Homo-oligomer: A and B are copies of this chain.
Amino acid sequence: MKKVSLADISKELGVSKTLVSFVMNGRAKEKRINDEVAEKVLAKAKELGYKADYLARAMRTGKSQTIGLVMADISNTFFSKLARSIENEAAEHGYNVIFGSSDENHRKSGKLIDVFKDKRVDGLIICPTIGDITHIKKLNKERYPYVLVDRYFNEVSSNHVVVDNYNGSFKIVEDQIQMGRKRIAFVNFNVELINMTERFNGYIDALKSYGYKYDSSIVKNVSFKNIEKETYLAMKELMKITPKIDTIYFSNNRLAFLGIKYLFENNTINFKKLKLASFDNYEFMHLLQVPIKFGVQPIEELGKSAVDSIMKQINEESGGVEHVKLPLDISFLN
């Protein structure tokens, strides 16, 4: 079962490779090739089980029909769902996805970007981390098709698709305030990622607009690297001043998981007095015996929009820089 090439067909039929190539690429009409000839070619191709060699075509055209996906960590539920959505949407366009995880390390993401470019992906979907700004600038300069997802940088222009973190966070805090909470603690990451800072800004502004003062002693920031240890520490400190707070608001589901785990393991907490909220959700929240309010990120839309944006760029239908901001689903607040 040897590979069938264009040459095989052209030889058997006594026509040129050019003609066969045109027919196989559906350009028979455009090139005004005789219908009978075209049909003969198609029939022979089918008979021999011809399939264009992907690598040869990719090499010639420079198109690989593959998208490179750079994310923080595919094993994280948010990203794996995002990856799935991207995979589905890419498939709709006849594209495949090659992926890699950066672990929030810009050296890794830089390397992934380089490798994927080497492999000639037609476009990149990147969930950038701190320090990736250099790589983004480079992509801009090279006019390499890419779109950022979940995060972007104020300092550099980029196509990006994100969630409306500011307003989502604002509404969650507002909801808590409207339910009568007066002291809302906030557990966030200590990083300069725009999605996290926006959630913080939403938190602050919601407080302000209801006349509450921002109290830095009930805001805790933990690092990515030591997330487990530091979240525990943050919770411990918050528990010490527990009469001062009536709500804990987590800026993402991972922090919520760890924070709540801490509370359960040290179960002297009265959940009638201490309420919980989280920016986004996670399956476990549906299992808690304790009420929690949360937003739901439009992950599927996020992935779909990102692919659509990259496709527009690849097909050169893009009308300049594109920013998409999707609303947080806050139906679980009511």
Binding site for B on A (CB under 8 A): 1, 51, 53-56, 58-59, 64, 66, 73-77, 79-81, 83-84, 87, 91, 96-101, 115-116, 118-120, 142, 257, 260-261, 264, 283-284, 286-289
Contact = CB atoms under 8 A, between A and B. Distances in A.
8 contacts: A51-B118, A55-B64, A74-B74, A74-B80, A75-B80, A77-B80, A87-B100, A264-B289
B80 A120 contact: no
Contacts of A97: 98-100
A91 to B, nearest CB: 7
B119 A66 contact: yes
Contacts of A84: 73-75, 101
Given A74-B74, A101-B84, A260 B287 contact: yes
Contacts of A56: 59
Q: Is the interface of A mostly helix, strand, loop or mixed?
A: helix
A96 B67 CA distance: 13
B55 A120 contact: yes
A77 B74 contact: no
Contacts of A115: 96
B101 A74 contact: no
A98 B96 contact: yes
A87 B116 CA distance: 14
Most buried by B among A55, A56, A66: A55
